[in-house]
Structure 1
Amino acid sequence: MEVEAMQTFEVGDAVVPEEGGDIAGTGDAAVTGRVTAALTRLLPALERYHATADAPHFPAYVPGTVPSEPLALPDDGVGLDATLDELAVAVEHGCRISAPGFVGFITTGATTSGVAAATATALAGGQRYLVHAFNALERTGIRWLAELCGLPADTYGVLSSGGSTAQLLALGAARQAAFERLGVDVAADGLAGGVRGRIYVSDRGHRTIHRAAAVLGLGRDAVRGIPSLPGGQVDPDALEAALAQDRAAGLVPIAIVAVAGSTDTGSVDPIARLVEIARRHDTWLHVDGAYGLLANASPTQAPAFDGVRDADSWIVDPHKWLATGVGVGATFVRDADVLTRAFAEGEAAYLEGSFSTVPEDGASQFDLMAGAWADQSLELSAPPRGVLVWAVLREIGRAGLAARIDRHVGFARHLAARVAAEPRLELLCDAQLSIVCFRYAPPPGVDGDVLTARVLERLRRETPFVPSSTVVRGVYALRPCFINPRTTRREVDGLVDAVLRFGDEATSTPR
């Protein structure tokens, strides 16, 4: 049901703690008030965390600053203030994926609106199923996200902890639909003995697809890797041949996966062509857009996603390009019922029996279940993660996200142009979306993979510029990916300059 309006209520005789205190007489060891004071105590550490963004290199890990091995469980707690002080130390030595020079894995820290939303949700968000303000924002966030990605208006969405779970949900729905076409309710009855299914994805497909196949009982070997073309996109002709071959062998096609932004090179499969193939073979078409699908929000990048509206399911991670903070993934399906049939946990008297079926004026927020997500995911208890999506998009809007995407794609193209113009560097694949793969060109007699590994190690230890790596056509490559809202052109050029310097030093030093 849609939440039409928020209800208000009078405090009446409820006991409300004074600011800075707790409800007297509870006898609990934990402080339940003093929220303002607690957050204020942490603020200096949080500000110092951001102040180190322009440091000349990432701080080295100092063993013992925060114990790496679990401490003994204390019999008596140290209290809130001492706990906050220890947490402040952890903040200052925390993960630096939000620093402007981190261009490695496709993840980044939250922008300020996401931090604020996460804090508010932790305190007041509760469960996403009940009728309250955060449930309404969850629904809005899901709807906005689908619209940004260019999905049909009636697309149904559910949020989870990230792309791994989102992938599992989408492929679980695909498995359910595939076996229902054979007259089997696989969620109820399980896989029939001797029946083998297939999932098709390019050899650039993410390994979460293989893990989902394993969890769904299909087996990792059920994922058939289809050769990719030189640009990284799947070869449609090879896909057609594989489908025909497997059908002749009696295998059940579960899904074709179109990769909308591969993790290693950023390539986008020809989605419209894959939709045609899927329809011809009566097969589910799933779009893995965990990284790249949000680029469809930019009119400049949208042509690469032609045909995406015609798929059966999609995933996208708001904690990537949208920068909500880690822990937010989305699954969208065309048919919500098949998702429910695949993942429904079944009714329980203690849950469904606690709610009314007919809303009445003046109903409590605890009278109704305001969402079916418990039966469409792996989670029963879950926070309203969509609030983070809502907050970021409420702040920057569609135009703000599109501008971010275009800026980051521009960074990738600028870096690729610099590499192409520099004889000492080697471009290993064209810039696709916001990813570039390159390396310092090894002189004769020098092992290029070893040289690249040395350069990458020095980048991590001595500079604020940290890409990750991958292998392109058998060659070990540096792989920056630009999704971080804090990254500027300065970091892009700084990375190239550092690679040149380290490569020069490595190839001129006698060994």
Structure 2
Amino acid sequence: MYQEHAECGKLPELLQRLGEDLTNYLRFEHPDAMCNEESWKTALGGPLPDQGIGCEQLLDIIGQHLIPNGSQVPKPGCTSFITTGATSIGVLATLSGVVAAPQRVGLTAFNYLEELSLQWMAEMFALPSTMKGIYSSGGSVANLVALGAARQWAFERLGLNPAENGVQKPCRIYASSACHRTIHRAAAVLGMGRSAVITIATDNNGRLCPNALRRQLQADANTGFVPVAVVANAGTTNTGAIDPLREIAEIAAAYQIWFHVDGAYGLPGILDPRIRPLYEGLSLADSVIVDPHKWLGAPVGIGATYVRDRSILNRAFSQGAADYLEGACHDDNIQNSMLSMGVPYHDFGVELSAPSRGAVVWALIREIGKTGMRERICRHNDMARLVADLARKHPALEVVQEPTLSICCFRYVSDKVQNLNDLNKQIHRHLVQDGRCIPSTTILNGILVIRPCFVGARTTEQHARELVDAVVETGNNLLRDMHPTT
């Protein structure tokens, strides 16, 4: 019979083998997973195993068939999504937590770093020192937690408790047309409904229009709706636009509405001194979110929500008494780390069981410091500006929206083609198929654009230049196929 504990002494050797396989993967010399789909499905699949094969043989399969057929997202040339491959220290810190802190409870070194890393991030991103946070699995849950706090606050002002008795009145959440769709999902999950999210117009740069917000709030006054929150973006997913935070904050304050800032992607941009003034008014927010698994280089699964008064999270999300927990821990004369739950994060959000996320963020910041983070942010913003500059100078390219952060929206143009949207869609598909440069696309005012987002720690200026060259080369080749005689 296979003995699970027998492998414990082999952990160093097994980790070394795994490290070698991951190192090979990070050379990005392997083909895309779809090139040999049948091979790895055969190796990994099959009927439910009756007998185990043991750790060493399984590690062989992982190294030969699983890791090499992973995602394209960590590639330095992949600029599609605002997630990326974790940095090496992020991987190592995560592994440390998986082994040594499998649960977010107790007075341990890992849980000490949960609170410390939240404090470090707040300081690094110029949040008020009074704002406290909680980690979750990413921006989706982080926005949910923030809007749950906003819902609690709005109803408490009416003498009602939505966490206890549910949503008893129709609600309104005000967000721009460029807001992330997780705002709508949060509204649905929190019982307010997706239709509670009222779309506010944006300007030509994708920023929420304060005057449009003011008009909508005035129109909704005395209608019976409960205004739950005004949501602003500190870096939209589409273009990296930063809403006029101070103006929006002042309007929200005038109407006594919770002011939430979604900085899942763009909050670290405040470290770039060239655009720091765009974050003026951030300190007026009632809640702010940021995803360390984006620009900070953490493994996917780490988001953070900050609120001015963390006690409201307890009122909104406390799970209530549980027989198996009550009395298990206390705060008097503690002699063992398991005698106290520590900070009651389990009552501040929607997760009871949760991994050690704080140690990962602590390691990321401790490794390169605030200065290193600033250099990374500035380097990536420079890449977006470089793409824009190269596109402006090339006769076959057009900048559709100037970059604010590390996103640049541009496209291939030609007077020989009537449908430029279709042409650029084809260009994008060829780029993805080729696999060297993998941007995404988006639609701006009816125009389909190529949309690289530079957030990967391993991505360099050369990758930005290669993308522009690849767009031009691919566009030229497609034109040549369309008009072979010209």
Tell me if TM exceeds 0.5: yes
Q: Does the aligned pair in 2 maintain the 1:359–1:368 contact within 8 Å?
A: no
**Ranges of 4+ aligned residues in structure 1 off by more than 3 Å:** 25-33, 57-61, 68-71
Match of 1:134 in 2: 110
Partner Cα distance (2:333, 2:128) in 1:
29
Aligned residue among 24, 35, 41 for 1:67: 41
Aligned residue among 55, 58, 80 for 1:83: 58
Match of 1:402 in 2: 374
Percent pairwise identity: 42
Tell me by how many angstroms 1:315 deviates. Answer: 0.5
Match of 1:218 in 2: 192
SS at 2:411's partner residue? Answer: strand
Partner Cα distance (1:26, 1:84) in 2:
15
Match of 2:85 in 1: 109
Aligned residue among 227, 232, 247 for 1:253: 227
Partner Cα distance (1:384, 1:153) in 2:
23
Q: Does the aligned pair in 2 maintain the 1:58–1:461 contact within 8 Å?
A: no
Match of 2:275 in 1: 301
Match of 1:470 in 2: 442
Partner Cα distance (1:145, 1:505) in 2:
47
Aligned residue among 160, 169, 185 for 1:184: 160
SS at 1:66's partner residue? Answer: helix
Q: Does the aligned pair in 1 maintain the 2:410–2:451 contact within 8 Å?
A: yes
- Correspondence 1:6-21 to 2 at 5 A: none
Are 2:134 and 1:162 equivalent residues in the alignment?
no
1:26/1:133 CA distance change after superposition, 3 Å: farther
Are 2:470 and 1:493 equivalent residues in the alignment?
no
- Correspondence 1:351-390 to 2 at 5 A: 351-360=325-334, 363-390=335-362
Tell me by how many angstroms 1:463 deviates. Answer: 4.2
Q: Does the aligned pair in 1 maintain the 2:184–2:194 contact within 8 Å?
A: yes
Q: Which amino acid aligns with 1:74?
A: P
Match of 1:149 in 2: 125
Tell me by how many angstroms 1:422 deviates. Answer: 1.3
Match of 1:44 in 2: 20
Aligned residue among 278, 296, 321 for 1:322: 296
Tell me by how many angstroms 1:336 deviates. Answer: 0.7
What are the superposed Cα offsets for residues 307-338 of structure 1, whole Å, 9 maximum, x if unpaired?
A: 10110000000000000111100011101111
Match of 2:205 in 1: 231
Higher helix share: 2
Match of 1:286 in 2: 260
Q: Does the aligned pair in 2 maintain the 1:58–1:464 contact within 8 Å?
A: no
SS at 1:159's partner residue? Answer: strand
Match of 2:10 in 1: 34
1:349/1:496 CA distance change after superposition, 3 Å: same
Q: Does the aligned pair in 2 maintain the 1:200–1:225 contact within 8 Å?
A: yes
Tell me by how many angstroms 1:51 deviates. Answer: 1.7
Q: Which amino acid aligns with 1:373?
A: Y
Partner Cα distance (2:298, 2:175) in 1:
28
What are the superposed Cα offsets for residues 236-295 of structure 1, whole Å, 9 maximum, x if unpaired?
A: 000001111112322111000010100011000011111100100000000000000011
What are the superposed Cα offsets for residues 409-434 of structure 1, whole Å, 9 maximum, x if unpaired?
A: 11111110111111211111011101
- Correspondence 1:414-493 to 2 at 5 A: 414-493=386-465
What are the superposed Cα offsets for residues 63-95 of structure 1, whole Å, 9 maximum, x if unpaired?
A: 123228964221111111111111112111111
Q: Does the aligned pair in 1 maintain the 2:2–2:52 contact within 8 Å?
A: no
Partner Cα distance (2:246, 2:355) in 1:
35
1:187/1:59 CA distance change after superposition, 3 Å: closer
Tell me by how many angstroms 1:162 deviates. Answer: 0.6
Partner Cα distance (1:210, 1:200) in 2:
11
Q: Which amino acid aligns with 1:377?
A: G
- Correspondence 1:496-511 to 2 at 5 A: 496-510=468-482
Q: Which amino acid aligns with 1:166?
A: A
Q: Does the aligned pair in 1 maintain the 2:133–2:305 contact within 8 Å?
A: yes
Tell me by how many angstroms 1:26 deviates. Answer: 11
Q: Which amino acid aligns with 1:123?
A: V
1:359/1:294 CA distance change after superposition, 3 Å: farther
Tell me by how many angstroms 1:29 deviates. Answer: 7.1
Tell me by how many angstroms 1:406 deviates. Answer: 0.5
Q: Which amino acid aligns with 1:76?
A: Q
Q: Does the aligned pair in 1 maintain the 2:302–2:357 contact within 8 Å?
A: yes
Point out where structure 2 has 5 or more consecutive residues left out of the alignment. Answer: none
Q: Which amino acid aligns with 1:508?
A: R
What are the superposed Cα offsets for residues 382-421 of structure 1, whole Å, 9 maximum, x if unpaired?
A: 1110111001100000000000001111111111011111
Partner Cα distance (2:46, 2:255) in 1:
57
Tell me by how many angstroms 1:34 deviates. Answer: 2.1
Of 486-495 and 205-214, deviating more is: 486-495
Tell me by how many angstroms 1:442 deviates. Answer: 3.5
SS at 1:371's partner residue? Answer: coil
Match of 2:99 in 1: 123
1:72/1:60 CA distance change after superposition, 3 Å: closer
Q: Does the aligned pair in 1 maintain the 2:33–2:70 contact within 8 Å?
A: no
Partner Cα distance (2:137, 2:338) in 1:
25
SS at 2:224's partner residue? Answer: coil
Q: Which amino acid aligns with 2:233?
A: V
Q: Provide the alpha-carbon RMSD of the alignment.
A: 1.8
